[in-house]
């Protein structure tokens, strides 16, 4: 069956392609509408597919980052500072005073750190004002580039509008900090190419947004820190961190995130520029989405991507260095020429984040990913919508073509449940892993599923229409119960043609010309008698599951094994032929009583692989079969005349039905136009129903046939002559006797025991 599908695939595509494309286009249009309107839960499905693809296919295999080291405020540091009397006295309880960070920054400078990003805020003055002054002194003396985080709050005082310049000019804050001076330090020049920056705001009540303003760091640090950036969580509607927006607005000024503030100095940027799908930061150009965002390539969990050093280790290293001792950091060059990101990792500190890789991870995980992606250029961006739409249409077309061509319930279920989503998932994963491109998944999944459902609905609708057509088309050829069984078993024939093995039946009235001459003065009676004959013969064939092919005058052509795929088609054909002969015998008796002419029927049966389907023209077509096997069945019907037999069957029919029938091997014949000889048989009865007298006749015939093939014609003639005296009505015996007597008198020049079956 699979080979048939591929053989007739082009024809099926031509016949059904408009309907397939219609289903695919409609499904894609509905899916696109739902995506654009946010219906059917597609945004949530998209996030789930993206997260799964990201964590499966976009894990980095490069190990720890060579450029970034994390200094963690972890639980060991909290415990270590609390349990160390000197540290507890100098730094106080957590959150520690700024003196601790002065020591940490001093040690990082000594270790050769390139720059420090403090993923936190320093906007609360210490109880002792000297602590932040000490930190400011260390930053000034060491010239270590330190970037501090800035938080926002709804009740913070708004900053005035300024014309930001980067790097900002030196500011003399003195004892206080003028709002305009603070704004010049915190704001950042951003060109948006006409697009609006996302606002610093939060949802206070459902449907109500509340604006946020920046909380400036303590005054001494405003002048000494290298830069400032937002450390607000950047989350999607479901609370997960997947992307960054790079810059935000409070409605007055623009502010960048902490990673951007640091990267701007590294790339010599004087402004942040959005242009189309590109972000430019000095010498660095990065791909972004049309709305200015970019999705993060986390590369894996925090501990898989970065070396993590506890704050406690740096404090201890500073203390040892004050005592003139060396630490292990120098030998390993842990911090030399590296970016250092300081942030909390202990539970309960800071604002935890949830990423596609894990829940409740340190909040700095996303900002670390942003920083690394800026330096590596490995942001993930969404594919243009038309690309995802084209992918969705392609999947919809594939689903429709596959399901509407094969029309297999098993394939329909497997494709719907096991193929569409994995296919989209693998495609998404490949685009993420190979191109860092987010190809939409929910849209093609929806289009593929809708197209599959549409194809299945079309299949079943078409099947119902086809079933109705089958009932109408085959009601003249088959018994209604067999048609309903064929439909119930979902074994509808492929009307566009298929090759299968079946058995062909041909019958004809012997001497029909003489028979019809008896009615030359009453043609209506001839029609009535012929209709009665055809009805009785056809009924016998239909009872055995035959499909009436056609009537050609008095001839009946019938197929067994199509359209219903009966495995015992040869046996059914033999039973039907014997039943038809029995009906003709009863009909002869009825005709004799009415004074009508006698009637005999000759039958030819052959089994072979034939091409079966609807054949004809646009005006008229019939379900029939074609092939050499059909021609041989017709020839066998006509050959009965030469052998004096009534039912002749071919070799394949005998092979398939031999356990169920009684036969006589008649001869080996060569059909006109063929070089190969075949053995033909006379069908006599069903197994066990042949009378003893006829069985003896057949036995003696076979003995004579063997002698004939050995060219012992006189001996064969003797056997046949003796048997013919006992069974004078046996036609094949008389025919073979005449042939043996002829060859006895006139031996053939070239004898191979094969008779030529002329047209």
For residue 622, the cross-strand partners are 615
Strands, E, within 155-215: which ranges? 190-191, 201-205, 208-211, 213-215
Map tokens 């930061």 to a residue: 281
Residues written for the chain: 759
When pLDDT is averaged across residues 547-572 and rounded to a whole number, the result is 88
Query: Residue 469: what pLDDT?
Result: 61
> What is the Cα–Cα distance from 140 to 145, expressed in whole angstroms?
10
pLDDT digits (tens, 9 = 90+) for 50-66: 999 998 888 776 678 89
pLDDT digits (tens, 9 = 90+) for 140-164: 999 999 999 999 999 999 999 999 9
Residue 486 has pLDDT above 60, yes or no: no
Nearest alpha carbon to residue 201 among 232, 239, 228 = 232
Give 250's pLDDT tier (boundaries 50, 70, 90). Answer: very high
Query: Under 8 Å CB-to-CB from 385, ≥6 apart: which residues?
Result: 440
When pLDDT is averaged across residues 42-46 and rounded to a whole number, the result is 92
Query: Residue 3: what pLDDT?
Result: 43
> What is the Cα–Cα distance from 539 to 533, expressed in whole angstroms?
10
When pLDDT is averaged across residues 713-722 and rounded to a whole number, the result is 93
Give 124's pLDDT tier (boundaries 50, 70, 90). Answer: confident
Task: Provide the pairing of β-strand 243-244 with 294-295.
Answer: antiparallel
Nearest alpha carbon to residue 87 among 108, 103, 72 = 103
> What is the Cα–Cα distance from 477 to 734, expressed in whole angstroms?
38
As a CATH number, domain 494-687 is 3.30.70.1230
Nearest alpha carbon to residue 607 among 502, 507, 499, 498 = 502
For residue 754, the cross-strand partners are 668
Q: Where along the chain do its domains lie?
A: 2-52+383-469, 68-74+101-123+131-153+161-379, 494-687, 691-759
SS3 at position 382: strand
Long-range Cβ pairs for the range 706-714 (8 Å, 24+) = 708/736, 708/739, 708/740, 708/753, 709/753, 711/743, 711/747, 711/751, 713/740, 713/741, 713/743, 713/744, 713/747, 714/740, 714/744
Count CB-CB contacts under 10 A for residue 24. Answer: 27
Joined together, the tokens standing for residue 116 give 């420090």
Give 484's pLDDT tier (boundaries 50, 70, 90). Answer: low
Query: Under 8 Å CB-to-CB from 318, ≥6 apart: which residues?
Result: 103, 104, 106, 107
Residue 465 has pLDDT above 50, yes or no: yes
Give 183's pLDDT tier (boundaries 50, 70, 90). Answer: very high
Q: Is the dihedral of CA 399, 405, 409, 410 positive or negative?
A: negative
Cα 27 to Cα 12, 386, 450: the distances in Å are 21, 16, 5
> What is the Cα–Cα distance from 558 to 612, expressed in whole angstroms?
12
Joined together, the tokens standing for residue 130 give 């000297």
When pLDDT is averaged across residues 209-223 and rounded to a whole number, the result is 91
Residue 593 has pLDDT above 80, yes or no: yes
When pLDDT is averaged across residues 234-242 and rounded to a whole number, the result is 90
Cα 551 to Cα 76, 507, 566: the distances in Å are 98, 10, 23
> What is the Cα–Cα distance from 456 to 154, expressed in whole angstroms?
55
Residue 482 has pLDDT above 60, yes or no: no
Q: Contact, 471 vs 483, CB < 8 A?
A: yes
> What is the Cα–Cα distance from 485 to 487, expressed in whole angstroms?
5
Backbone angles phi, psi at 346, to 5 degrees: -70, 145
Q: What percent of the chain has pLDDT over 70?
A: 89
Residue 598 vs residue 639, higher pLDDT: 639
> What is the Cα–Cα distance from 284 to 271, expressed in whole angstroms?
11
291's enclosing H/E stretch is none
Q: At what angle are helices 311-322 and 75-83 packed, to 10 degrees? A: 40
Cα 89 to Cα 86, 97, 132, 346: the distances in Å are 5, 11, 16, 22
Query: Residue 658: what pLDDT?
Result: 95
Query: Residue 304: what pLDDT?
Result: 86
Backbone angles phi, psi at 354, to 5 degrees: -120, 125
Query: Residue 473: what pLDDT?
Result: 55
Question: For the CA atoms of 687, 688, 691, 694, what is the dihedral angle to 10 degrees?
Answer: 40
> What is the Cα–Cα distance from 698 to 664, expressed in whole angstroms?
6
Please tell me the least confidently modeled range out of 281-290, 326-335, 376-385: 326-335
Sheet holding 278-281, edge to edge: 190-191, 272-275, 278-281, 284-287
Q: Contact, 404 vs 16, CB < 8 A?
A: yes
For residue 340, the cross-strand partners are 69, 116
> What is the Cα–Cα distance from 727 to 209, expressed in whole angstroms?
111
Nearest alpha carbon to residue 730 among 660, 680, 682, 676 = 682
pLDDT digits (tens, 9 = 90+) for 619-643: 455 778 888 889 999 999 999 999 9
Query: Residue 475: what pLDDT?
Result: 57
Q: What is the DSSP string of 395-449?
A: HHHHHHHHHHHH--HHHHHHIIIIIHHHHHHHHHHHHHHHH-EE--SHHHHHHHH
When pLDDT is averaged across residues 729-738 and rounded to a whole number, the result is 93
Map tokens 């630490």 to a residue: 327
Cα 447 to Cα 364, 452, 741: the distances in Å are 38, 8, 81
Average pLDDT, the chain: 87
Query: Residue 1: what pLDDT?
Result: 38
Task: Provide the pairing of β-strand 278-281 with 272-275.
Answer: antiparallel
Give 2's pLDDT tier (boundaries 50, 70, 90). Answer: very low
Q: Contact, 192 vs 167, CB < 8 A?
A: no
Whole-model pTM: value is 0.65
When pLDDT is averaged across residues 178-182 and rounded to a whole number, the result is 90
Question: First CA to last CA across the chain, in angstroms?
Answer: 35
> What is the Cα–Cα distance from 263 to 265, expressed in whole angstroms?
5
Q: Contact, 286 vs 374, CB < 8 A?
A: yes
**ω into residue 743 within 30 of 0, thus cis?**
no
Query: Residue 491: what pLDDT?
Result: 53
Query: Residue 347: what pLDDT?
Result: 82
Cα 516 to Cα 506, 522, 552, 596, 702: the distances in Å are 20, 10, 15, 11, 37
Please tell me the least confidently modeled range out of 169-183, 386-400, 426-440: 169-183
Q: At what angle are helices 442-474 and 420-435 packed, to 10 degrees? A: 150
Q: Is the dihedral of CA 443, 449, 455, 461 positive or negative?
A: negative
Nearest alpha carbon to residue 646 among 694, 687, 709, 713 = 694
């Amino acid at each position: 069956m699979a080979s048939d599908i591929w053989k007739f695939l082009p024809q099926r595509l031509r016949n059904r392609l408009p309907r397939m494309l219609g289903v695919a286009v409609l499904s894609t249009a509905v899916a696109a509408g739902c995506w654009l309107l946010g219906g059917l839960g597609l945004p949530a499905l998209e996030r789930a597919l993206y997260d799964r693809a990201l964590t499966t296919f976009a894990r980095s295999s490069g190990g720890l980052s060579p450029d970034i080291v994390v200094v963690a405020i972890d639980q060991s540091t909290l415990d270590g500072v609390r349990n160390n009397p000197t540290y507890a006295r100098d730094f106080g309880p957590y959150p520690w005073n700024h003196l601790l960070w002065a020591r940490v920054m001093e040690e990082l400078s000594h270790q050769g750190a390139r720059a420090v990003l403090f993923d936190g805020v320093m906007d609360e003055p210490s109880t002792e004002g000297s602590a932040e002054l000490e930190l400011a002194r260390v930053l000034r003396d060491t010239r270590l580039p330190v970037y501090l985080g800035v938080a926002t709050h709804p009740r913070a005082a708004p900053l005035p509008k300024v014309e930001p310049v980067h790097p900002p000019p030196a500011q003399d804050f003195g004892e206080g900090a003028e709002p305009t001076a603070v704004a010049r330090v915190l704001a950042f020049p951003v060109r948006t190419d006409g697009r609006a920056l996302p606002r610093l705001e939060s949802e206070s009540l459902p449907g109500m947004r509340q604006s946020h303003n920046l909380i400036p760091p303590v005054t001494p640090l405003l002048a000494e820190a290298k830069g400032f950036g937002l450390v607000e969580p950047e989350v999607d509607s479901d609370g997960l961190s997947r992307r960054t927006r790079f810059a935000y607005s409070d409605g007055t000024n623009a502010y960048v995130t902490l990673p951007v503030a640091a990267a701007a100095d590294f790339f010599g940027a004087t402004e942040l520029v959005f242009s189309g799908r590109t972000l430019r930061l000095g010498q660095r150009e990065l791909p972004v989405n049309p709305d200015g965002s970019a999705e993060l390539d986390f590369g894996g969990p925090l501990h898989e991507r970065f070396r993590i050093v506890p704050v406690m280790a740096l404090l201890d290293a500073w203390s040892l260095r004050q005592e003139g001792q060396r630490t292990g950091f120098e030998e390993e060059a842990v911090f030399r020429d590296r970016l250092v990101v300081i942030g909390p990792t202990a539970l309960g500190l800071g604002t935890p984040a949830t990423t596609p890789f894990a829940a409740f991870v340190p909040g700095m995980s996303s900002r670390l990913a942003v920083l690394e992606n800026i330096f590596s250029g490995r942001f993930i961006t969404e594919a243009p919508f038309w690309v995802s739409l084209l992918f969705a249409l392609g999947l919809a077309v594939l689903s429709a073509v596959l399901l509407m061509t094969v029309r297999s319930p098993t394939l329909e279920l497997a494709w719907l449940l096991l193929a569409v989503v994995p296919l989209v998932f693998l495609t998404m994963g490949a685009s993420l892993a190979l191109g860092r491109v987010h190809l939409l998944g929910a849209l093609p999944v929806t289009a593929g599923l809708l197209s599959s459902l549409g194809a299945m609905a079309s299949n079943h609708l078409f099947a119902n229409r086809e079933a109705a057509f089958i009932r109408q088309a085959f009601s003249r050829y088959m018994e209604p119960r067999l048609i309903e069984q064929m439909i119930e078993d979902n074994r509808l024939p492929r009307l566009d043609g298929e090759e299968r093995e079946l058995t062909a039946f041909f019958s004809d009235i012997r001497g029909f010309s003489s028979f019809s001459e008896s009615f030359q003065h009453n043609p209506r009676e001839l029609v009535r008698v012929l209709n009665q004959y055809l009805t009785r013969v056809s009924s016998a064939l239909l009872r055995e599951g035959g499909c009436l092919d056609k009537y050609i005058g008095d001839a009946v052509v019938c197929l067994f094994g199509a359209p219903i795929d009966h495995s015992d088609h040869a046996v059914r054909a033999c039973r039907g032929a014997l039943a038809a002969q029995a009906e003709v015998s009863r009909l002869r008796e009825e005709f004799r009583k009415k004074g009508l002419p006698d009637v005999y029927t000759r039958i030819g049966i052959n089994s072979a692989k034939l091409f079966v389907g609807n054949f004809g023209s646009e005006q008229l077509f019939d379900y029939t079969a074609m092939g050499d096997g059909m021609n041989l069945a017709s020839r066998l019907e006509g050959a009965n005349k030469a052998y004096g037999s009534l039912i002749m069957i071919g070799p394949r029919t005998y092979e398939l039905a031999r356990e169920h029938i009684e036969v006589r091997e008649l001869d080996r014949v060569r059909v006109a136009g063929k070089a190969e000889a075949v053995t033909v048989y006379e069908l006599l009865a069903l197994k066990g129903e042949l009378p003893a007298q006829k069985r003896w006749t057949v036995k003696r015939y076979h003995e004579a046939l063997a002698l004939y093939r050995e060219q012992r014609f006189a001996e064969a003639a003797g056997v046949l002559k003796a048997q013919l005296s006992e069974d004078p009505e046996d036609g094949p015996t008389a025919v073979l006797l005449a042939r043996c007597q002829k060859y006895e008198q006139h031996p053939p020049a070239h004898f191979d025991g094969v008779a030529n079956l002329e047209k």
